[in-house]
Structure 1
Amino acid sequence: MSSLPPVTWLQAFEAAARTLSFTRAGEELAVSQSAISQRIRLLEDRLGQALFIRHPRSLSLTEAGQAWLPSIQEAFERLAQGTAEVFGPEPDAPVLIRATPAVQQYWLAPRLCALHRAHPELALRVVTGVWTQDFVGEDVDIEIRYGQGEWPEMVRESLGEERMTPLCTPAMAERLTTPAELAGTTLLHAAGFAVGWPAWLAAAGVEEIERDTHRLWCDTQVMTLRLAAHGCGVALAHRRLMGSAETLVAPFDIECHTAEGFWLTRPARRSLREPARRVWEWLADQTGEQWP
């Protein structure tokens, strides 16, 4: 076969094979049942094989049709994905923003509320990413990523320098007058961060007490903060989360700097749609502000 069949023939086959109905395929593609039937017949003639078994009142796929259908569906899916990656979603689709749970709760939420009050006509959708592999694929307009900004495929803008500090309930803070008194307490660890409790304890000059602490690991920083709020232990969190963690306080003034941070990013290979551009500019204008 020197060339692929026309796309309209392939669309007719995919729709008819999925629905097992020329009529429903025609309704889906906004053409008549006879047009679908003709396209299928032309496609079968081109391929030299039947794709459907035509029963008196129904359709079924031949073995060749069953074997070919997954490849056609995958091809259409990849075409749609590639189109979205280069040209973005449909112009009137909601602006899709992806961020970690902590960023959503402590940085993004108040800013999106302010944006919505100022521009209620902008349709927004927020989705969650936790791990590195979550921040790939999908038709995302804007992402807030955590790391060192080493994403050459992304346009990026830093949300500011990050520092880590312990947070706990006021009652627990009253009992912690020096870092050495963390011995015997539970340290709440959030997975996925380059800088954690060992680095902070070293900065405080008490790295040797880590073996005398209890440890509880969580997938997200939000969970460590919730546990800390319930008095379960001491969380190590980004300093700028402290303002929103209303039930938590910092028992010490010691902070640990980290080269990682939060970044406002978007795919470099395509231009932002107008609604997404407005959201980007709104968020970028506030990157220098302290988190609430």
Structure 2
Amino acid sequence: MLKRPYDLPPMSSLISFEAAARHVSFKAAARELNVTPAAISHQVKSLEQELQSALFRRHHRGVELTETGAYLLVSLQRGFECMNDALNQLRARSTKTSVTIRATTAVSSLWLTPRLAQFWKIHGHISVSQIVSDTDQAGSDCDLSIHYGDMSNETGTCHALFHDHIMALASPRFAQLHKIEQISDLGKVPLIHLDADKSTWTDWHGWCKAQGYLGPLRNSLRVNNYVIALQAAQDDMGAVLGWHGLTKMFIDTGKLIKILPETVASPVDFYVKLHPNATDRAKLVYDWLTHEPSCDK
């Protein structure tokens, strides 16, 4: 029997697990993949047997990720992002009329995609492709790119999308269980920490220091994906730092709430860059993103 390449489990089990973990639901994963929940459960159990480790905790009301499951989800999403990156580049080569935008997972899912949905209502004839990556954001394989950083260091055509402020957020249930009335109370509750590559990304220690609190903080949960951090907060796992421009829809729907009135201005801007040799269609998307009324300046 031939050994599988790369020493990987069957892709069907990895894809089934990623969908189930992303939705935190076997039923939702089954709907996405057009299979039965039993098929998803079978694939996940097969993967757990191969890894000899539980990936989910099963409850009568649903499932939740174990620490091992959360680690595997982030690793798989990195791999899928790389594959998605390569495929989008190939698609871009074959479709010159498509406008390509590079953004991080958080910016793509929480800010860009909802705005593109509005853009297509007006300009449905323009095809837009996204290159979603949390690694290299300086590639030349796109027409536009969205960054969180110091725009003054850029050359070429750039425009600030919004200068954000950062809040302490949590789920309503978490806020009810943990009475947080002042900054020092954060030292007593679980916190969700984001391991970000960029030094400009404010962490809990930096946020609390800006408020004058230098005391200890709990190192409860660490993730390297902001979307996962927000999901963990919604699941009552801890408080999370929220960039208003990225978390507004969670606040508006009540999924997350401010647990303290204090905010900290973000040290840098979210901005969009128009790359050289961009087409007229790309410039139209650029102009729309920078003047779209719902942008939080």
Shorter-chain TM band = 0.5 to 0.7
Distance 1:143 1:151 in 2: 15
| Cα distance change of structure 1 residues 90 and 285 upon mapping to structure 2, 3 Å threshold | farther
2:240 paired with 1:235? yes
**Percent of aligned positions that are identical:** 23
Per the normalisation by structure 1, the TM-score is: 0.62
Deviations along 1:58-91, one digit per CA (max 9) or x if unpaired, are xxxxxxxxxxxxxxxxxxxxxxxxxx9xxx9678
Q: Which residue of 2 aligns with 1:205?
A: 212
1:109 to 89, 113, 119: 113
Q: How far is 1:159 from its partner? A: 1.2
Helix, strand or coil at the partner of 2:249: coil
| Cα distance change of structure 1 residues 126 and 114 upon mapping to structure 2, 3 Å threshold | same
| Cα distance change of structure 1 residues 91 and 125 upon mapping to structure 2, 3 Å threshold | closer
Bigger CA radius of gyration = 1
| Cα distance change of structure 1 residues 260 and 118 upon mapping to structure 2, 3 Å threshold | same
1:179 to 179, 183, 186: 183
Distance 1:261 1:217 in 2: 24
1:96 to 96, 100, 106: 100
Q: How far is 1:125 from its partner? A: 0.5
Q: Which residue of 1 aligns with 2:265?
A: 257
Q: Which residue of 1 aligns with 2:226?
A: 221
Q: How far is 1:104 from its partner? A: 1.1
Q: Which residue of 2 aligns with 1:140?
A: 142
Per the normalisation by structure 2, the TM-score is: 0.61
Q: Which residue of 2 aligns with 1:76?
A: none
Unaligned runs of at least 5 residues, structure 2 = 1-88
Q: How far is 1:199 from its partner? A: 1.8
Distance 2:156 2:223 in 1: 29
- Alignment RMSD, CA only? 2.4
Q: How far is 1:214 from its partner? A: 2.6
Helix, strand or coil at the partner of 2:134: coil
Q: How far is 1:138 from its partner? A: 4.5
Deviations along 1:163-215, one digit per CA (max 9) or x if unpaired, are 111110012223222222222322212223522111211233322132xx133
Amino acid at match of 1:260: V
Unaligned runs of at least 5 residues, structure 1 = 1-83
Contact 1:221/1:237 (CA < 8 Å) preserved in 2?
A: no
| Cα distance change of structure 1 residues 222 and 287 upon mapping to structure 2, 3 Å threshold | farther
Distance 1:209 1:109 in 2: 38
Helix, strand or coil at the partner of 1:108: helix
